[in-house]
Amino acid sequence: MSFIEIKNLWQRFGEQVVFEQLNARVERGEFVTIVGASGCGKTSFLNVLLGTQRPSRGRVLVAGQPLRDEPDAERGVVFQRYSVFPHLTVVQNVLIAREFEGSPLLGRLFGARRRRALAEVAELLQAVGLAEAANKYPCELSGGMQQRLAIAKALIKKPKILLLDEPFGALDPGIRADMHALLSALWREHRLTIFMVTHDLKEAFQLGSRLWVFDKIRRDRHSPEAYGAHITYDIPIDRNSNALRRGAQQTAVAQRRKYEAVPTAAGR
């Protein structure tokens, strides 16, 4: 049994089929990067995994259990924007996760428990390079710092599954490289299972241990909405070896041949 099993997942909004017949198994500790054309349903797919959107058909099992249909602490998330709370300082933004679990009524910690939690938060902020900015509000941070804060927040709960929707889209190349290094290190250290949507193919190959390409394999010229996206390529990436990466690209070519052999609907 795989850690995550995606079984015949469909998503439809009215007449529009966003994705269809998604089938996949993902093991614990895999880093799946997802690329695909804009509007092909990548965010929708993450929303299904997050539990904020109910799939039209099919289901997702996590460790053999059906996915809970509301967000919970098992699944961390970093959105492209709005992942930090504007009214809390950097420290408070991370600390609040501990306060939620330690104080059901007030949502605040005091005394020794607060000090212990603060020490843990300080360590995490050090790891993401935000120790200096600990007492600033998010509006006083640069875009890259805000995204690092969002990642620190997502990591403090040590979620089994981490969902990232274009988390580095708005960052400049230098900070982006720093963030890549940070994320890779944290992924290895905590053995997270990560799904990351990106528009940057290079980033997808660099970071992931497996790359998914979302695309339509069936098209109907007369009603473009009739068919949804599939996982058209599922490419394993060995992050330690470029030779193997090249191998992966060959697999991609092989897979493409396989998909192109599939009989397609009218108008291809």
Partner 1 sequence: MAALATAAAIQAIAMKKLINYTPSAWARVCLGLLPFAVLLAAYIVASDIRLAQNPSDKLLPSIGSMLAAVDRMALQPSRRSGEYLLWVDTASSLSRLALGVGISAAIALVVGVLNGAVPLLRANLSPLVRAISLVPPMAILPILFIVMGLGEGAKVSLIVIGITPFLIRDLQSRTLEIPAEQKIKAQTLGASSWQLIVRILLPQLLPRLIGSVRLSLGSAWLFLIAAEAIASTEGLGYRIFLVRRYLAMDVILPYVLWITWLAFVIDWMLDRCSRRLYPWFYR
Ligand X SMILES: Nc1ncnc2c1ncn2[C@@H]1O[C@H](COP(=O)(O)OP(=O)(O)OP(=O)(O)O)[C@@H](O)[C@H]1O
- β-strand pairing of 210-216 with 57-62: unpaired
4 contacts partner 1 (rule: CB under 8 A): no
- β-strand pairing of 57-62 with 65-66: antiparallel
In angstroms, give the least distance from the CB of 20 to ligand X. 12
Q: Which does 33 bind (CB under 5 to 8 A by kind): Mg ion, ligand X, partner 1, none?
A: none
In angstroms, give the least distance from the CB of 156 to partner 1. 8
User: Which stretch in 8-16, 71-79, 194-202, 223-231 sits in contact with partner 1 by CB under 8 A?
Assistant: 71-79
Q: Which does 13 bind (CB under 5 to 8 A by kind): Mg ion, partner 1, ligand X, none?
A: ligand X
In angstroms, give the least distance from the CB of 9 to ligand X. 13
Phi, psi (rounded to 5 degrees) for 149: -65, -45
Token pair recorded at residue 211? 């790359």
Q: Which of 1, 38, 222, 257 touches ligand X (CB under 6 A)? A: 38
Q: Which of 3, 29, 99, 219 touches partner 1 (CB under 8 A)? A: 99
End-to-end Cα, the chain, rounded Å: 37
Q: Which of 28, 54, 59, 81 touches partner 1 (CB under 8 A)? A: 81
Q: Which of 20, 30, 41, 160 touches ligand X (CB under 6 A)? A: 41
Please identify, using beta-carbon distances, which residue of 35 and 217 lies nearer to Mg ion.
35
42 contacts ligand X (rule: CB under 6 A): yes
Q: Three-state DSSP class for 191?
A: coil
Q: Which of 33, 43, 93, 198 touches ligand X (CB under 6 A)? A: 43
E strand or H helix that includes residue 25? strand 16-26
Please identify, using beta-carbon distances, which residue of 169 and 247 lies nearer to ligand X.
169
Token pair recorded at residue 108? 């605040």
- Distance of CA 232 to CAs 39, 108, 151, Å? 15, 47, 29
Beta-carbon count within 10 A of 166 CB: 18
Site string for partner 1, 150-189 (x = CB under 8 A): ---xx-xx-x------------------------------
In angstroms, give the least distance from the CB of 206 to partner 1. 26
- Whole-number Å distance between alpha carbons of 244 and 263: 31
Residues 6+ apart with CB under 8 A from 112: none
216 contacts ligand X (rule: CB under 6 A): no
73 contacts partner 1 (rule: CB under 8 A): yes
Touching Mg ion, residues 36-65 (CB under 5 A): 43
Cα torsion through 147, 152, 153, 157, rounded to 10:
150
Residues 6+ apart with CB under 8 A from 163: 46, 49, 50, 75, 76, 77, 78, 194, 195, 196
Residues 6+ apart with CB under 8 A from 210: 26, 30, 31, 32, 33, 234, 235, 236, 237
Q: Which residue is nearest to ligand X (CB)?
A: 43
Enumerate binding residues for ligand X (CB under 6 A). Answer: 13, 18, 36, 38-44
